Structure 1
Amino acid sequence: MSETIFISGIDTDAGKSYCTAWLACRMAERGQKVATQKFIQTGNTGRSEDIELHRRLCDTGPLPEDADLTTSPVIFSYPASAQLAARLDGREIDVDAIDRSRRLLESRYDVVLIEGAGGLMVPLTDDFLTIDYVVSRRLPLALVTNGVLGSINHTILSLEAIASRDIELRYVLYNTHFDRDAVIAEDTRGFIERYVRRHFPATEILDVPDMSF
């Protein structure tokens, strides 16, 4: 049975692509056959820069499914939020295409990691958010956070949304790349861990090391 995990972040620049690649490499080292998929790519044409980053960081080279964009089935040219980028390109977000690609990857790989676009509340339409996709497909979640000033607020808001929808929080991925202020980072990391331990006792908290590749 294949396992699929959706990876979201506390905001747009939390480091989802880096953490997705790190988690994929970690699982591959354990002997699992892993594919990553980009949920929605913006700011590109005919390619996904995030998928390319995954392959480069894991040093795998392109997957066969990269060539026909199975791993990045929805791409918009303007570097904006998914809903806006779709509108500017005169297209709709094809959620069915994302599902078809996900199911194909699930039939070929042990693990599929879906890197989201922005945070959980990014809208796909006016009444369907990214978090609604996660809920409707019953996907477990990995949340990417970091030690940037203000990230405690963003993290707790994300965790509250996850809890209120009964989403399985598989991992909290703490991205150490942003630990520029040691005092703030230590306090933030400690607070997030204490909160997660209280409210999500089954969740694994993983520190994603900087420059680990």
Structure 2
Amino acid sequence: MSKRIFISATNTDIGKTYTTLQLLDAYTQMGYRVGVYKPIETGVNGLPADGSLLLKHASTLNLALKSLRVGDVVTLALSLPAAPYVANKNKSLNLKIFDDALEKIEKLCDIVLIEGAGGLMTPLDDKLMMVDLATHFDATILLVTHCRLGCINDTLLNLEKLSHVDIPYLWTFNCRHDDESFKQTSLPYFKNSFENLYFIGHNTPALAQALLDKITPHSKDNE
């Protein structure tokens, strides 16, 4: 089994896809064969936009992925831009379809980056949330948070949830050019409260290594 990293976020449109692309590059530079998987994508009109972008980029880094089509990378494509619970009309999900797709990708890579849809508590059906899918995959979670006003509350709520999930995790900021107030309004709290802070685009290689350090003692390969 490859090393699995599940990229989630504090909400939608936080930068999961951008973060995944950055990590694909980082792991390739570290000498790993990378793979990518987007189990569910909503708001699909034609080809899944995120899944297509991820596969196209990953295929330039790992030529073995050229044997895959976007349908191999996005298992469930739904047209309505909403939580899977709503977009899939509350149909119960059989997680085996995701396991089978992931197994096919893992044969071609050392590390697979799995991008979620929405945030950790995005409902999939009556019973499952997005965080449950990450747990089912036995993946290390990377939580991506924003740098706008309110990021303290959003980040702490998600970290509280993760603290009760039996799975390793790290978190990172994805700051955008218009997050001008972050250094004044939010960063002082984070600097005082956390020992290590990661910022996508600034110290992605350090984050990539830290994720591997989280995976190694947890991996089933080492049991």
Tell me whether the two structures share a fold, i.e. TM-score over 0.5: yes
54-63 vs 9-18, which deviates more?
54-63
The question of 1:34 aligning with 2:34 is answered yes
- The whole-number CA distance in structure 2 between the counterparts of 1:125 and 1:132 is 11
The 3 A distance-change label for structure 1 pair 32 and 205 is farther
CA shift, 1:6, in A, is 0.5
Identical positions, percent? 30
157-166 vs 36-45, which deviates more?
36-45
Residue type of the partner of 2:200?
Answer: V
Q: Which blocks of at least 5 consecutive residues in structure 1 are unaligned?
A: 198-203
Deviations 1:92-114 (A, max 9, x none): 54422111111222222000000
The 3 A distance-change label for structure 1 pair 105 and 182 is same
2:24 counterpart residue number? 24
Deviations 1:58-107 (A, max 9, x none): 682893354161111111111111111111xx855442211111122222
Residue type of the partner of 1:138?
Answer: D
The 3 A distance-change label for structure 1 pair 66 and 59 is closer
Describe how 1:92-111 pairs up with structure 2 within 5 A.
92-111=92-111
The 3 A distance-change label for structure 1 pair 65 and 188 is farther
1:8 counterpart residue number? 8
2:71 counterpart residue number? 69
127-136 vs 20-29, which deviates more?
127-136
The question of 1:176 aligning with 2:184 is answered no
CA shift, 1:51, in A, is 2.1
2:84 counterpart residue number? 82
Bigger fraction of residues in strand: 1
Aligned length: 201
The 3 A distance-change label for structure 1 pair 192 and 97 is farther
- The whole-number CA distance in structure 2 between the counterparts of 1:50 and 1:134 is 18
- The whole-number CA distance in structure 1 between the counterparts of 2:95 and 2:103 is 12
RMSD across aligned positions (CA):
2.7
Question: Could you state the TM-score of these two structures normalised by the residue count of structure 1?
Answer: 0.82
CA contact (8 A) 1:37 1:51 kept: yes
Question: Could you state the TM-score of these two structures normalised by the residue count of structure 2?
Answer: 0.79
- The whole-number CA distance in structure 2 between the counterparts of 1:33 and 1:25 is 10
CA contact (8 A) 1:45 1:75 kept: no
Describe how 1:38-187 pairs up with structure 2 within 5 A.
38-45=38-45, 47-55=47-55, 60=60, 63-64=65-66, 66-67=68-69, 69-87=71-89, 92-169=92-169, 171-177=170-176, 179-185=177-183, 187=185
125-134 vs 56-65, which deviates more?
56-65
CA contact (8 A) 1:148 1:185 kept: no
CA shift, 1:115, in A, is 0.4
Q: Which blocks of at least 5 consecutive residues in structure 2 are unaligned?
A: 205-223
Secondary structure, aligned partner of 2:88: helix
Secondary structure, aligned partner of 2:25: helix
- The whole-number CA distance in structure 1 between the counterparts of 2:33 and 2:116 is 20
The 3 A distance-change label for structure 1 pair 173 and 102 is same
Residue type of the partner of 1:174?
Answer: F
